[in-house]
Amino acid sequence: MAGQSKRPMRLDEFLTVAEAAELLGVSASTLRNWDRAEKLKATRHPINGYRLYNKAELEKLMNRMRKRS
pLDDT digits (tens, 9 = 90+) for 3-23: 455 677 788 899 999 999 999
Q: Tell me the pTM.
A: 0.79
pLDDT at 1 over 50: no
Question: What residues contact 21, with CB distance under 8 A and at least 6 apart?
Answer: 27, 28, 30, 31
Q: How far apart are the first and last CA of the chain?
A: 41
